[in-house]
Structure 1
Amino acid sequence: MIRIIDNGTYLVNGKDLLEIREQEVLYDAGGRQVNIEDFPYANQNFDRQSARKNTMSFNILTNKNTSGDVDKLKIRFDVLASHDITYVGIIQTARASGHLAEFPIPYVLTNCHNSLCAVGGTINEDDHVFGLSAAQKYGGIYVPAHQAVIHQYVREMMTSCGSMILGSDSHTRYGALGTMGIGEGGPELVKQLLEKTYDITFPEIIAVYLKGKPRRGVGPQDVALSIIGAVFKNGFAKNKVLEFVGPGIANLSVDYRNGIDVMTTETTCLSSIWQTDQKVKEYFEIHGRPESYSKLEPGTIAYYDGAVIVDLDKIEPMIALPFHPSNVYTIAELNRNTDDILRMIEVEGRKQIENPAIKFNLTEHIVDGRLKVDQAIVAGCAGGTYENLVDVSSIVDNHFIGDGSLSLGVYPSSQPIYLELVRNGAAAKMMTAGAVIKTAFCGPCFGAGDVPANGSFSIRHTTRNFLNREGSKPGDGQISSVALMDARSIAATAINGGNLTPATDLDFPAADLPYKFDNKIYANRIYNGFSKPQTQKDLKYGPNIADWPRMIALPENLVLKVASVIMDPVTTTDELIPSGETSSYRSNPLKLAEFTLSRKDPEYVSKAKEVQALEIERQSLVSGKGDSISTQLREICQELINNSNQHFTDIEDVLKRIGIGTTIYAVKPGDGSAREQAASSQKVLGGWANIAKEYATKRYRSNLVNWGMLPFTIEINPEMIFHVDDLLFIPNIKQRILNGDENIPAQVISSKGIQEIELSLRNLSKDEREIILKGCLINYYTGE
């Protein structure tokens, strides 16, 4: 189904893929050596540097670059987009900089995450009121709750071929519509609001070469999961741009392409782009925006840093088992080896749970040799698209899901899609079969809606299936499991009594229901104030909306206590700061911080607060407001006097020259969401650094930097070094940051004695170093 080429590759005339092996020998997509003298394109220039400029990615990135340096990009985006988990913090940060007068580019504020307003009394709706007032004051675009999920609205109304969009949601992907979308933490949007730039080294470009045509019953999630399974664990696509090319694209509808594209986030790529064609042109025409179309395609000879070959003919219905989208199997394989595979998943899952009191059992869901599910959901930016739901309606028509525990929930991704499903009868077919149709809402994807029962097994066409992301609370002894599947196989399973069933086993009719987009819903309800700021208007604050606490500049020397050590191969942002109902508190940094690592390391918050109290005490003593020093702080100071190489003269000298905080160690943190709170919540509790073998995504590392936290990496085996409650002394850190040093010596002080180590700070730009020196992005802009 999938073949990876981990070598330089040429694409010729948009159809012939040629792999470069040693001595510049070329091989075609079938692995056969090509004699360049006899090759039809032998007279063309196979030069890597010039051919690199023929990718779509190169042209878009350089067109949006303001630096004048192709290798060091400084990008200004065309559109920004946020939802109601992130936009309050973004606007508050931009305001705190003192430089926000109006939104300089279109900024869409959607309300698709905290839509239920079910937690914390009024606080979710208070955020929505704040969002509308901000759109009015600064000239934004406000999409009320239940109108559309963020990415569907942007697809329908904001994309254009050759443009770039930055969103504060990790699934900001609009490549199938000719738009490069990048999902980042909120501070990167703040920079754009303040007319600064998004700074990156020019990324590697990977060709995703599609050929063939999917079989009936194989949907976009099946293709996406196949790709994710092939590239995630080996890091092949990490921080790169996926450029979709090849003859197979013509065999896919635009909805189908969107469904694949939005899942590219789970490969950990930076962005994506697809060649465009008549079908994309028709999409923009249907949505009343024909001027947004232009043809995008690679040049005659385009060079790529690697390739992923996808044979669409051979893709089968897939399932991603708990607890990651890359944990993929064909449904047929799982049905053949149900017991063996589920037992293996149980073993791996229990390692992640790290709590023997919680019963994680998948094999109990095997009934008569088949995996039987309890819940089925089709929702959000990946699942709730028009064609997905039309196919669901065709599959369930004249069937019923039964009166047992199995439920089928369907969430159209926008009100225009919902309206068309009602008008053409597709909604009636689903409802008659027993499906419950709800409004546009991302809740099932991140645990704020349709949380399964304890011990349940849910299949979902959504974007992620991380541990506890579905809403369970391990601290309360809860556990449930989510597997990702395509909408078609979900519908097939639902009408088969919940027994796992690939849609290719069914012979369901193709619905002839072309989509008609009715813009009146948006025209009558969306507030579009771009370029029309009403600066005299006041922002409306609910009682939960709070300013960011003051953050100090980086001290001369750092003393960090290790507050958590996480040895999982990958740590998700959902584990760093839980999703679900916790998201309701994301407009209040102090309240939200109480949930930091709560589902992964419940002791973290209390440990961090203990250390933070020492820093508060230190500051008080230095300012002359404190009367006496605590035993614990005295012991830390004495340890540094006795064992550091800083030549501290006395305790008073130590107190003036250090800062005290916490750090965490995780092997590979930051997979998943772009939520900045995964980093900012640590900083609010006194965190100064993360230490890792590597960071799972650029966006999490960026979040650390923008909140003034040091993104250390370390080469040696950390199991021999870090333990909870160890002290880490980092001398001269301020000067080393000023110097641009990348190798940072430090001491680990523990019950075993003192160990000298070396930490790394690679590839920090001048601006990033300045942000860290200032203590956070807010201080950087205010000059504090």
Structure 2
Amino acid sequence: MIRLIDKGIFLTPEGKIIYPGEQWKREYAQHTMAYQVMKAHNQGKSMEKLQLKFDALVSPDNNYVSILQTASASGIKEFPVPYVLSNCHNTLCAVGGTINEDDHVFGLDNVKKYGGIFLPPYKAVLHQYMREMMAGCGKMILGSDSHTRYGVLGTLAIGEGGGEIVKQLLSQTYDIPRPPVIAVKLIGKPRPGVGPMDVALTLIGATFKNGFNKNKILEFVGEGISNLTVEYRMGIDVMTTESGALSSIWCTDEKVQDYLSLHGRGDQYREMKPKADAYYDGLIEIDLSKVECMMALPYHPSNVLSIHEFNKNPQKYLEEVEEAGQKIKGEDHPPFALMSKLQQGKVHVDQALVSGCSGGLFENIAAMADILKGTVLGGDASALGINPASQPIFSELARQGIMSELISAGATIRPCICGPCFGVTDVPADNQLSIRHVTRNYPNREGSKPGKGQMAAAILMDARSIAATVGNKGYITPASDLQIEYSHYEYHYDTNYYKGQVYDNFNKADRDVQVRKGPNIEDWPNFYPPNQHLILKVVGVYRDSVTTDDLSPSGDAVAYRSNPTKLATFTMRNKDTGYVPRSKAVLQQEISRREKQPIQDEKWKDILEKVCTNLGCSLEDMTIGSVLVGNQIGDGSSREQAASSQKILGGVANIAREFATKRYRSNLINWGLFPIILEDIEEIQEGEVLLIRNIPQIIEQAGQPIPIEILGKDKIVLGNMGEMTQDEKGILSSGCLINYNRMGV
């Protein structure tokens, strides 16, 4: 079904694999599609250290306010490229009264002031709009959402934190060493009932945990591509984020040309394929004909197995999910219980959802209607909700009668929003099991709050198997077991839809516009550069993965994305309720030091006196801050608030065995947090105090070992921040990206 080759290869035009010597790598690596697109966007002289500018930018409403605030504080004059502000995340999150709609007003005024594009609520989820209106062959697009993926249309798209968007808005560059490129060779044709999520989960299951795709570009090639529709390809492509990949790009063909032409953008098509004998840093080969209907068990998209395998021994897997859930929920709450879902040897689900950029595509929903034809879901049956990815898709489903079929079957059709994908709508009840065609199934991603005793679980599945399950009275069923005659609908698209309903103000900036600012929208607080030495209190040590969802939770916290101080109070709430008060206690010492007030805490007073005596310095030479320590930190979304909230609470560094993604490391740097890699994290315990001397030298010599002294243990461990660009060094030295741009470094 899938095989991995973890070494360099040549791939001939005929698909033959050749194992070359390293001496050929430099020349033939230039033959990949990814290389050619990056070369066209590189502003620097070196293709080894890229300085990229993008053709377009996109942000959702759960982070664009903070990005605009940062850009404004940094001195922006006008958006230099099309920048789409999409209102698809916060739309239904009503916590806090007017504050979410206040964000939308703020976004619209910024679009008028700086010359952007405003996608109103309910019109589309951001990625579908970009597919329909912005992506094209040979382009590069940067988004502040991790699932920014438009490789099917020949666009190299990357999801990053807001700091990287700000840099582009200021006409700065995205600086990165040239990423490795992995060939994904597709052969064969999927069997009936096997959908794009099944292929995507197969890929994720084989590559995430071993880091095979981490921070690499996936280049999809092979004759199997021609056996997939453009939407099917998109359903695979958007999920490559969950494999750890940086970006993706696909060979294009007449189907892509037809798609772009249908959407009124035929001029943006060109055939894209690797040049002869392209060199790749590895290969993934997927035989589509052997892919099964798959599922990802809680609590990560990489917990993959086939539905058939699950159904052989469902009790075993439910027990594993229960045990993992109980650890997340904690012993202070009633036990997490799912075994009631096991009924006569089969697992019954409570809820089913198909939504957003991965699930809410036309073909997925049409296939569900075929499967559910003649079915009627009872009032106590597994609830089925569907969120189409855009109003054009919604309209076409209605025009062709597909929506009527689904409504008659008992499905409820929801607005075009991302809500179910990150836990702000359709939250299951305590101890319920949900199946979802969305992008993630992290703990509390479905909206429950384990720290408050609420716990539910979500399984990722393809829309077809979700429909098969719902149609089978809620018992988990692979769609490949059904004998269904699938309809082949001809999709129609109204090219005038967005022209009348999207506010396109690009190149029409009006600096006289007064931006309205709701009462919840708060400016960034002042941040300070680090002094000569760092004193760091360890406020949290986590031996498992710390995701961006842990650091900056979804759910009701999303409502406060525009109030950084309020949002910071939610940091780690669902994983460690003690994190915030411990951090604030350290921050108070730094405030006292900075304001030259007496240090009241006797332990801190003693520590600081000893350090100053030993170093022959004063308190003015110190920075007191907190540090989070973890095995792996930063898996998940691109949300920069995972870093900025730590900064607001007085965080100065993260120490990890590894950072899960490049984008999280960039977020740390952009917010002035030191991203330190340390193999021996077991040496550090919560509550300990660390000393890092000579910070200007540490920053300037980034990539060299960093001595970290564990005070009271007479022990030194060696960390490393890895190599940094001069801009990154300047950002850290300044205390954050805002300071760096204000200072005009």
- 1:697, distance to aligned residue in structure 2 (A): 0.3
- Three-state SS of the structure 2 residue aligned to 1:53 is helix
Q: Does 1:5 align with 2:5?
A: yes
What is the aligned partner in structure 1 of residue 611 from structure 2?
640
- 1:360, distance to aligned residue in structure 2 (A): 2.5
Q: Does 1:617 align with 2:592?
A: yes
> More deviation in 114-123 or 587-596?
114-123
Q: TM-score by structure 2 length?
A: 0.98
Give, in whole Å, the separation in 1 of the partners of 2:676 and 2:372: 52
1:221-279 CA-partner distances (Å, limit 9, x unpaired):
00000000000000000000000000000000000000000000001111000000000
Give, in whole Å, the separation in 2 of the partners of 1:509 and 1:741: 59
- 1:508, distance to aligned residue in structure 2 (A): 1.7
- Three-state SS of the structure 2 residue aligned to 1:391 is helix
Give, in whole Å, the separation in 1 of the partners of 2:510 and 2:301: 44
Give the letter for the 1:73 counterpart.
L
What is the aligned partner in structure 2 of residue 437 from structure 1?
413
Say if 1:206 and 1:240, in contact at 8 Å, map to a contact too: yes
1:436-462 CA-partner distances (Å, limit 9, x unpaired):
001111110101000011100000000
- Three-state SS of the structure 1 residue aligned to 2:458 is strand
Give, in whole Å, the separation in 1 of the partners of 2:19 and 2:187: 16
- 1:766, distance to aligned residue in structure 2 (A): 1.5
Say if 1:14 and 1:245, in contact at 8 Å, map to a contact too: no
Give the letter for the 2:742 counterpart.
T
1:140-163 CA-partner distances (Å, limit 9, x unpaired):
000001000010000000001000
Give, in whole Å, the separation in 2 of the partners of 1:347 and 1:477: 15
Q: Does 1:93 align with 2:94?
A: no
What is the aligned partner in structure 1 of residue 491 from structure 2?
515
1:458-494 CA-partner distances (Å, limit 9, x unpaired):
0000000001111111222100000000000000101
Give, in whole Å, the separation in 2 of the partners of 1:68 and 1:641: 46
Say if 2:60 and 2:85, in contact at 8 Å, map to a contact too: yes
Q: 1:447 to 1:544 in 2, by over 3 A?
A: same
- 1:524, distance to aligned residue in structure 2 (A): 1.9
What is the aligned partner in structure 1 of residue 30 from structure 2?
53
Q: TM-score by structure 1 length?
A: 0.93
Give the letter for the 2:697 counterpart.
Q
Residue pairs, 1:466-545, within 5 angstroms: 466-545=442-521
Q: Does 1:755 align with 2:715?
A: yes
What is the aligned partner in structure 2 of residue 697 from structure 1?
661
Give, in whole Å, the separation in 1 of the partners of 2:25 and 2:360: 41
Give, in whole Å, the separation in 2 of the partners of 1:708 and 1:599: 25
1:330-357 CA-partner distances (Å, limit 9, x unpaired):
0001011111222233334444444452
Give the letter for the 1:76 counterpart.
K
- 1:536, distance to aligned residue in structure 2 (A): 1.2
- 1:68, distance to aligned residue in structure 2 (A): 1.2
Percent identical residues: 49
Say if 2:93 and 2:424, in contact at 8 Å, map to a contact too: no
The one of 561, 564, 567 equivalent to 1:592 is 567
1:80-132 CA-partner distances (Å, limit 9, x unpaired):
0000011101111011012x111000000000000114110000000001111
Give, in whole Å, the separation in 1 of the partners of 2:305 and 2:603: 53
> More deviation in 220-229 or 286-295?
286-295
Give the letter for the 1:778 counterpart.
I
Give, in whole Å, the separation in 2 of the partners of 1:700 and 1:73: 19
Say if 1:358 and 1:474, in contact at 8 Å, map to a contact too: no
> More deviation in 541-550 or 507-516?
507-516
- Three-state SS of the structure 1 residue aligned to 2:715 is strand
Q: 1:763 to 1:160 in 2, by over 3 A?
A: same
Give, in whole Å, the separation in 2 of the partners of 1:432 and 1:128: 35
- 1:563, distance to aligned residue in structure 2 (A): 0.6
Give, in whole Å, the separation in 2 of the partners of 1:559 and 1:14: 59
Residue pairs, 1:49-448, within 5 angstroms: 49-98=26-75, 100-355=76-331, 357-448=333-424
Structure 1: gaps of 5 or more residues: 25-45
Q: Does 1:764 align with 2:724?
A: yes
Say if 2:360 and 2:387, in contact at 8 Å, map to a contact too: yes
Q: 1:137 to 1:369 in 2, by over 3 A?
A: same
Give the letter for the 1:589 counterpart.
P
Give, in whole Å, the separation in 1 of the partners of 2:306 and 2:336: 22
Residue pairs, 1:548-563, within 5 angstroms: 548-563=524-539
Give the letter for the 2:397 counterpart.
L
1:610-631 CA-partner distances (Å, limit 9, x unpaired):
111111100111xxxx367553
What is the aligned partner in structure 1 of residue 625 from structure 2?
661
Give, in whole Å, the separation in 2 of the partners of 1:647 and 1:482: 56
Give, in whole Å, the separation in 1 of the partners of 2:221 and 2:17: 10
Give, in whole Å, the separation in 1 of the partners of 2:392 and 2:235: 18
Q: 1:156 to 1:499 in 2, by over 3 A?
A: same
The one of 675, 680, 686 equivalent to 1:711 is 675
Give, in whole Å, the separation in 1 of the partners of 2:225 and 2:134: 23
Q: 1:77 to 1:346 in 2, by over 3 A?
A: same
> More deviation in 471-480 or 703-712?
471-480
Say if 1:561 and 1:728, in contact at 8 Å, map to a contact too: yes
What is the aligned partner in structure 2 of residue 41 from structure 1?
none
- 1:15, distance to aligned residue in structure 2 (A): 2.3
What is the aligned partner in structure 2 of residue 38 from structure 1?
none
Q: 1:514 to 1:741 in 2, by over 3 A?
A: closer
What is the aligned partner in structure 1 of residue 549 from structure 2?
574
Q: 1:151 to 1:14 in 2, by over 3 A?
A: farther
What is the aligned partner in structure 2 of residue 16 from structure 1?
16
Say if 2:328 and 2:450, in contact at 8 Å, map to a contact too: no
Structure 2: gaps of 5 or more residues: none
Give, in whole Å, the separation in 2 of the partners of 1:729 and 1:374: 51
Give, in whole Å, the separation in 2 of the partners of 1:741 and 1:222: 40
Say if 2:296 and 2:304, in contact at 8 Å, map to a contact too: yes
What is the aligned partner in structure 2 of residue 734 from structure 1?
696
- 1:506, distance to aligned residue in structure 2 (A): 1.1
Say if 2:325 and 2:455, in contact at 8 Å, map to a contact too: no
- 1:295, distance to aligned residue in structure 2 (A): 0.6
What is the aligned partner in structure 2 of residue 724 from structure 1?
686
Give, in whole Å, the separation in 1 of the partners of 2:561 and 2:220: 36
Say if 2:71 and 2:169, in contact at 8 Å, map to a contact too: yes
